Amino acid sequence: MKKFLNSLSYGLCESDVKQSFKSILRELLNLEVIKKHKNTFYLNNSFVFGTVDVSNKGIGFLQALDKDDKKDDLRIDDLKGANYGDIVVCKILHSKKKKTFARVVSVLYRARKTSLVITKAFGKNVLATNFKTGLTVPIKASAKSLKALPLGTVLKIENANNEVIEVLGHIDDEKIDEKISLALFDKNEDFSLQCLKEAEANGDFVDVSMYENRIDLRNMNFCTIDPVDAKDFDDAIFYDSDKRELFVAIADVSEYVYPYSALDKEALQRGFSIYFPHKAVAMLPKNLSENICSLKPLEDRLVFVFKLSFDENFYLIKEELFEGIINSKRRFNYDEVDEYFIKKMDLKEFNYLYELKKLSSILRKERLKNAFDFRTKELRLIIDDKHNLLSTRYESDTPSHQLIEDCMLLANKAAARLIEKGVFRNHGAMDIKKVKKLLVELASIGIDVKFKADLREFIKDIQSLANELNLRDEVDKLIIKSQKKAHYSSSNEGHFGLGFDRYTHFTSPIRRYPDLLLHRLLKAKLKNDEKLFSYLLLDIDDSCENLSILEREADKVALDFMDRKFARWAKKNIGKKVMATVIENSHICIAKLDDELKGALLYINNTKELNLLEKVLLEISDVDIIYAKIFAKFIKRCDNV
C-alpha cells in the first residue's frame, strides 16, 4: 500500500497498477486527488498521503509517507473518522496566519478495524473512552443501554462507524486480559466454520498407502525436543553418527493447506501463532496444529526433510531436500535432555543425541567466528486457573536448546541456498545513529570502547569489556536493542546477527506463515514447475512486508498480555518495596523488576537522575490497569546492598 501510494507522487504507469489497488485508484480519480496523463497517474498538487497520529488531547497529525515530503507532521483540521495509524489522503489547507493544516479527504486503509473502549461516568452521563488514546468516543448506543452496563465494561467497536460489536467483559475480571490483548491488535482466536471443516476434512491419521512417491523414513529413530508444555511439534531430528548424516524433518503443512483456500487466507491474515503463558492462539486450527500436522510420537506423519551429510572433519558436504514420511519414536523436552547430557544416561536408540551434541558444538564454534553469542533469556510467566500471576522464570539458552537451534539453522541456510527469489529472513547491520546512542549508553556504565568500522569486531570488543565488568547479560541487551529488526523480504540481503550470507525460515510452518509459503516455493522448485513457482510469487513483496508487520504484532500481543498480568499483580501490592534495575534514563526513567518476580517495567515518577543498569529499591505507588502501566517511587540506590 505505502509503496503504491508513494509511486503516485512520481508517476505510476497504468500497466504497473496491480489488480488489488485498482479500486483505490478509481476512488482517487473520482476525488480528483490524482490525474491521468498519457497512461500515467500523478498526484495532484496540494494533496499528500500519510499516516495519522493522534495526541492524548485528540489532536490529529499527519506523517507523510514520502520521507522527502516537506509536508510532514501537519496538524489535521478534520480527521473525518480517521484513527491512529490509518493511511489517509489529505488536502493541504493554508490559513491566513500562514499556518498549514491538513484535512482528511479519504481513509484509504484502516490500521485497525476495531477499537476497545471502556465505560466511565462523566457527571450523570455514561460515556466510553478509547483504550489507547483515552479520548471520549461517541459510540452508537443509547444512553439507556450504556447505563445498563456496569461502569468499567470493556466494549469492542467498529472503527468505521463506532458501532458496538462485542461486550468483552469487565475490567476487574482477570480473565479479560487475553481478550483485551488480542482485540487491541485486531487478533481473533476463533476460526470460521469453513476453516474448521477444511481442517477436519484431513482426518486424524496418515494413510501411508496414499503417498507412494514419498521416501519412507519410519524405520529411523526420529525424536522431537521441545518445551515441556508444547502442543505443536514442527520439527523432528535423527542423526546417523556412523554415516555422519543429519535428518531434519519438518511438518509438511503445505500438504494440507492449499493456496487461496479458506484455511490459507486465514493463516495469511494471522501470519503467526501467538503464545500466552497458559495457551496458544494458533495460526491453524487445532486439528492441524496439534494433530495431523504435529509430529507427535508414534504417529505416521508427512514431512519435508533436509538430509545433511558431513565429512570426517564435520564439514557440510551435501544437502538433499525431499518429501518423506516419519514416525517419531519419542518426545523429549529440553529440561530432560539437559539432564541426560549431564548424567550421560543410556538412551539406547537415542544415544545419537550425544554424538549430535558434539557436532552441534563444532558447528556453533565455527559459526560464532562470524556471528554473535548473545546471552539472552526469555521471560516466562506462570499463572493459575484464575489467571492470577504466580511466578516468573527466565528460560536460559541450554545445551539442548543450542542443539536444536543449530539443527534448525542448518536447514534454514540450506533452504535459502535453493532460491533466488522468494521468502528470505534478512537482518541488516546497525546504522550509525544507533551506534552513537549505544556508545553513549556504554560510556554511562563505564565501558569506554573505540568505534571500529568492522561492526563484528566492534561488538566483540564491547562484549569483552562487559565480561571484565561482569555486565555481559545487561550489555548484550543494550546491543540487541540498538540493532535493526530482522524482517522478511523477497530478495536476499543476508543476516548480520547470525553471520550468514543467506538465510530464511523453513522449520516452523505450523506457527509461521513465511515457512509455509517457502515450502510451497521449494516444492515447485523440486518439480521444476516454473509456472507454479511464478504463480506463488505473485504479490510476494507485499506479502513479505505484511508478514513482517504481523510478526511484530504477534510479539506485541504477547508482551501486552504480560504487562497486564504484571499490572494486576502490582495493583494488589501498592506500597510494596521491590528491587529493580534501571533500563532507561533518557527522557523518562524506567526500571525492570528484579525481585522475587522479575521482568515487569516500572515507571519511576520522582527522579531522572539514576544511572543506566543501576540497582534501585522502589515502592509501587500506582497502577493503571487500562494502560497496563506500573508507577513506582524511588527509595534508594542498592549497588552496595
Query: What burial letters (b/e) apply to 260-274, b meaning 16+ CB within 10 Å?
Result: eebbbebbbebbbbb
Strands (E), 261-359: 274-275, 280-281, 300-310, 316-327, 330-333
Q: How many alpha carbons fall within 13 Å on the CB side of residue 277?
A: 28
Distances (CA, A) of 328 to 70, 139, 216, 224: 60, 54, 12, 7
Residue 234 near residue 508 (C-beta atoms within 8 A): yes
Average pLDDT over residues 153-178: 92
Lowest mean per-residue pLDDT among 131-135, 146-150, 298-302, 595-599:
131-135
Cα angle 339, 340, 346; round to 5: 155
- pLDDT for 136 equals 83
Average model confidence (pLDDT) for the chain?
91
pLDDT higher for 349 or 133?
Answer: 349
Residue 13 near residue 38 (C-beta atoms within 8 A): no
Cα dihedral value 168, 169, 172, 174, nearest 10: -60
Average pLDDT over residues 339-360: 96
Residue appearing with cell numbers 494433530: 291
- Measured CA to CA, the distance from residue 427 to residue 486 in angstroms comes to 4
User: Length of the chain, please?
Assistant: 641
Dihedral of alpha carbons 290, 293, 297, 298, sign? positive
Residue 488 near residue 514 (C-beta atoms within 8 A): yes
The DSSP code sequence of 474-537 is HHHHHHHHHSPPPEEESS---BTTTTBSS----S-TTTBHHHHHHHHHHHHHHTT-HHHHHHHT
- Measured CA to CA, the distance from residue 171 to residue 381 in angstroms comes to 21
Distances (CA, A) of 125 to 148, 170, 328, 523: 12, 19, 62, 61
- pLDDT for 80 equals 82
Task: Provide the percentage of residues in the chain whose pLDDT is more than 70.
Answer: 97
- pLDDT for 494 equals 95
456-492 tens-digit pLDDT: 889 989 998 988 888 888 888 888 888 899 999 999 9
Residue appearing with cell numbers 545487561: 474
> Which 3 state secondary structure label does DSSP give 429?
coil
* H or E, element range at 443: helix 432-444
Query: What burial letters (b/e) apply to 97-108, b meaning 16+ CB within 10 Å?
Result: eeeebbbbbbbb
Range with the largest mean pLDDT of 37-46, 88-97, 264-273, 460-469: 264-273
pLDDT band at 18 (very low <50, low <70, confident <90, very high): confident
Average pLDDT over residues 168-180: 96
Q: What is the DSSP letter of 98?
A: S
If one counts every other C-beta atom within 10 angstroms of the C-beta of residue 326, the result is 26
189-200 tens-digit pLDDT: 999 999 999 999
Residue 521 near residue 455 (C-beta atoms within 8 A): no
Classify strands 100-109 and 74-78 as parallel, antiparallel or unpaired.
parallel
Strands (E), 131-195: 136-137, 153-158, 164-170
Task: Find the farthest-apart pair of alpha carbons in the chain and give their distance in angstroms, rounded.
Answer: 85
Task: Provide the percentage of residues in the chain whose pLDDT is more than 90.
Answer: 67
> Which 3 state secondary structure label does DSSP give 101?
strand
pLDDT band at 95 (very low <50, low <70, confident <90, very high): low
If one counts every other C-beta atom within 10 angstroms of the C-beta of residue 276, the result is 19
| Residue 325 identity | I
Lowest mean per-residue pLDDT among 333-337, 355-359, 393-397:
393-397
46-72 tens-digit pLDDT: 899 999 988 766 788 898 887 665 555
pLDDT band at 355 (very low <50, low <70, confident <90, very high): very high
Residue 605 near residue 633 (C-beta atoms within 8 A): yes
507-561 tens-digit pLDDT: 999 999 999 999 999 999 999 999 999 999 998 998 999 999 999 999 999 999 9
Residue 29 near residue 36 (C-beta atoms within 8 A): yes
Would you say residue 168 has pLDDT above 90?
A: yes
Would you say residue 631 has pLDDT above 90?
A: yes
- Measured CA to CA, the distance from residue 319 to residue 411 in angstroms comes to 9
- pLDDT for 639 equals 66
Would you say residue 641 has pLDDT above 80?
A: no
339 exposure class (CB count in 10 Å sphere: 0-12, 13-18, 19+) = exposed
402-456 tens-digit pLDDT: 999 999 999 999 999 999 999 999 999 888 888 888 998 898 888 888 888 888 8
136-145 tens-digit pLDDT: 888 887 777 8
- Measured CA to CA, the distance from residue 515 to residue 492 in angstroms comes to 15
Would you say residue 622 has pLDDT above 90?
A: yes
pLDDT band at 82 (very low <50, low <70, confident <90, very high): confident
Average pLDDT over residues 561-585: 95
> Which 3 state secondary structure label does DSSP give 84?
coil
Q: Which of 614, 376, 599 is nearest to 476 (CA)?
A: 376
Average pLDDT over residues 285-304: 97
| Residue 518 identity | L
- pLDDT for 528 equals 95
